[in-house]
A = this chain, B = another copy of it.
């Protein structure tokens, strides 16, 4: 357990770890989309705008099959930085943690069985409200239904996400809630001024403090859906929000709709915690007293430069990687050394399938 670091509420973190140690976990992977991602320079996840929309389903397919079906290439950048789904896959498989994919507004459906929610992609918040108010409510409702179902099947529900451009909508939501937020980026040179420009445009449109109106104006479909999931699931079982700053936007909304803070933890990688351009722990503390758990995947020791790049500020987190690694440690007693071997092996496999 010594690999997992507890931040914020130490006592609750200890209790959370004790409650789920050796228990059954279920990984739910929420894929979504916001047209905000189409702003040039905003995300590394699929630099080509035509390609962006395939990132979430491709990640889902990679988790399931070990290769992608919606796209013809292996999910890494031209210079060999792989999708964080690689970390998630290695972690979930090492601990035999089952997974389900939830389509909460992805532009493209994955080629595998997935939960459909009939949500549509979010709009570009620089130009117009992210989603209609009625969609916010439906996303929360559907999230609540699914959260209840999934929570009934496990001792600990992990919720991960993939939504290109999602850190920008998260930033806009957090700022609308009056939170002093700096969010992480998938690139080492965080395009913060570009993000802030978009956020300013969204904030100018509305100064409402109503949580539902904030999400409609500045959010994306993932945020209300996952908040709904958290709300019902935490009444039944333990929940790990697996991700970085995007999950804090979920927390901000969850404060308004209610959830059980004694059964909720945020789980992430140390790369997010160590990100000097962001302030994840400050954001969490300003919203809630839940614990944050982090894990260092030690990718600086990887055999492959594409993986070592994670420790140099690229990608950092995504597809619930941090939370999945934490879950594999808690369920099956994995350690980060063993996991690194599995991650390297997985990287070798996909590289040689080129």
Is A114 in contact with B113, judged by CB distance below 8 angstroms?
A: no
Q: Cβ of A153: which chain B residues have Cβ within 8 Å of it?
A: 24, 26, 98, 153-154
Is A142 in contact with B116, judged by CB distance below 8 angstroms?
A: no
Contact A115 to B116, CB < 8 A, known contacts A153-B153, A153-B154: yes
CA distance A64 to B141 in the complex (A): 13
Is B142 in contact with A112, judged by CB distance below 8 angstroms?
A: yes
- The smallest C-beta distance from A133 to any residue of chain B, in angstroms, reads 19
- Partner-B contacts on A (CB < 8 A): 24, 26, 64, 96, 98-100, 102-103, 109, 111-118, 142, 145-146, 148-149, 152-154
Kindly report which residue of chain B lies nearest to residue A103, judged by CB atoms. B116
With A96-B152, A112-B145, A114-B115 given, name 10 new contacts (CB 8 A).
Answer: A98-B148, A98-B149, A100-B149, A103-B116, A111-B118, A113-B116, A113-B117, A113-B142, A113-B146, A115-B116
Is A114 in contact with B116, judged by CB distance below 8 angstroms?
A: yes
Is A145 in contact with B98, judged by CB distance below 8 angstroms?
A: no
A64, A98, A113, most chain B CB atoms within 10 A: A113
Can you pick out 20 interface pairs between chain A and chain B where the beta carbons lie within 8 Å of each other? A24-B153, A96-B152, A98-B152, A98-B153, A99-B149, A100-B149, A102-B113, A111-B118, A112-B142, A112-B145, A113-B115, A113-B116, A113-B117, A113-B142, A113-B146, A114-B115, A114-B116, A115-B115, A116-B116, A153-B154
Is B145 in contact with A113, judged by CB distance below 8 angstroms?
A: yes
Kindly report which residue of chain B lies nearest to residue A236, judged by CB atoms. B98
Kindly report which residue of chain B lies nearest to residue A117, judged by CB atoms. B113
Q: Cβ of A112: which chain B residues have Cβ within 8 Å of it?
A: 142, 145
- The smallest C-beta distance from A159 to any residue of chain B, in angstroms, reads 14
CA distance A26 to B154 in the complex (A): 11
Kindly report which residue of chain B lies nearest to residue A24, judged by CB atoms. B153
- The smallest C-beta distance from A183 to any residue of chain B, in angstroms, reads 28
CA distance A145 to B100 in the complex (A): 10
Q: Cβ of A117: which chain B residues have Cβ within 8 Å of it?
A: 113
Kindly report which residue of chain B lies nearest to residue A104, judged by CB atoms. B113
CA distance A224 to B152 in the complex (A): 28
